[in-house]
Amino acid sequence: MSNDEPKERADRAMFNDQHEARAERAMSNDGHDDGVDRRGFLKCMAWAGTGAFFMVEGGILKSYSLSKLPGLPTASAGTLSFVQISDSHMGFNKAANPDVVGTLKTAVDRINALPTAPEFMLHTGDISHLSKPEEFDTLDQILKSARAKDVFFVPGEHDVLEDEGAQYLERYGKGTKGSGWHSFDKKGVHFIGLVNVLNLKAGGLGTLGAEQLAWLKDDIRHLKHSTPVVVFAHIPLWSVYPDWGWGTEDAAQALALLKPFGSVTVLNGHIHQTMQKIEGNVTFHTASSTAFPQPAPGAADSPGPMKVPADRLRSVLGITDVTYLRGKHALGIIDSSLEENS
């Protein structure tokens, strides 16, 4: 054991304790009752949508909010379609959402109602809330009813609380490398699942580590630079808000390796809200949670489950529609919130 390991473990333990304490202090509207019961919350989650539907056709990657099923296109021959969901937090039962099972089922219902059955699903972590076997069991059972039968996972920090990810790897890590990183190809698109929730830095910043970065360099070595690349990990690979741990310390090294590729999309979860950014050839997109919202960066004393009034829930949870268009030098983006289109 290195001299740094006891300190790193202490930092992780402190971070996990603080995160759970934040859950107990779920934000409210100046202490008033928000009026959101189980039925009302499920209805509001149905307004907002709880995932993103992606289509890749002719080198163009587009994403659509699951909140607008009537407007979603039907895939043509040769199109690749997939779905991303994130932060299911099975086992969470605080005031911000007393029924995470119900809201996950809402997400699955929306996936099953898509005009085109997605070929697979990405789950970008925090499957569970406390890494308990029954929490993983619950998610597995619910996802069995989804039309997308193949699911590719990366862990969230809540999935590796007790055993450094051993249980996660046993369930979801077959065929992966290291702590669960892996890659696969679908219809000319290269997908890379990275793990950045082990050895968290002070404040909760993610880290990839030298071993995983070396693997990434080798993994993409054989690819043509015209190959569309989709990277997915739990904690954002761009610095959304480092003060809250919303970023990955060594992400710049991974992004430097991906710089030669003309089309790179990075999908993350963790922050429980949709945000997007373009930086050169890379488009970053964070996903909303199926469980509960978190405050906007810097809008509260700390991150954590956010309890809001029913009439505000739509704006807090609303997923932005994003369209990615592969251009000559970079990707373009068009977005509109649910609130703007209501």
DSSP helix/strand/coil, 213: helix
DSSP helix/strand/coil, 231: strand
pLDDT of amino acid 131: 96
Q: What is the CA radius of gyration of the chain?
A: 19
Task: Indicate the domain borders of the chain.
Answer: 5-341
Query: What is the 3-class SS of 251-302, one letter each residue?
Result: HHHHHHHHCCCCCEEEEECCCCCCEEEEECCEEEEECCCCCCCCCCCCCCCC
Spatial distance between the Cα atoms of 92 and 95, rounded to a whole number of angstroms = 9
| Predicted TM-score of the model (pTM) | 0.79
pLDDT tens across the length of the chain (342 residues): 445 544 444 444 444 444 444 433 333 333 333 333 444 444 443 334 467 777 776 666 777 766 665 666 676 666 788 889 999 999 999 888 888 898 888 888 888 888 878 889 999 999 999 999 999 999 999 999 998 889 999 999 999 998 889 999 999 999 999 999 999 999 889 999 999 999 999 889 999 999 999 999 999 999 999 999 999 999 999 999 999 999 999 999 999 999 999 989 999 999 998 888 888 889 898 888 888 888 888 888 999 998 765 545 434 432 222 222 333 333 233 222 223 333
Following DSSP, what letter does each residue of 42-91 receive, concatenated?
HHHHHHH-SSEEEEEETTEEEEEETT-GGGPPPP-TT-EEEEEE----BT
Q: What is the phi/psi pair of residue 276, to 5°?
A: -145, 155
Provide the CA 122 distance to its chain's centre, in angstroms.
8
Paired tokens of 2: 């290195």
pLDDT of amino acid 338: 25
Q: What is the phi/psi pair of residue 112, to 5°?
A: -70, -20
Spatial distance between the Cα atoms of 49 and 106, rounded to a whole number of angstroms = 8
Spatial distance between the Cα atoms of 77 and 80, rounded to a whole number of angstroms = 9
Paired tokens of 7: 């300190």
Provide the CA 255 distance to its chain's centre, in angstroms.
18
Paired tokens of 83: 């779905």
Spatial distance between the Cα atoms of 124 and 268, rounded to a whole number of angstroms = 6
Paired tokens of 191: 């997908």
Spatial distance between the Cα atoms of 2 and 24, rounded to a whole number of angstroms = 34
- Tell me how many helices (H) and strands (E) the chain has: 9, 13
Instruction: Name every residue whose Cβ is closer than 8 Å to that of residue 87 and which is 6 or more positions away in sequence.
Output: 124, 125, 126, 156, 269, 270, 272, 287, 289, 290, 291
For domain 5-341, give the fold. Answer: Purple Acid Phosphatase; chain A, domain 2 (3.60.21)
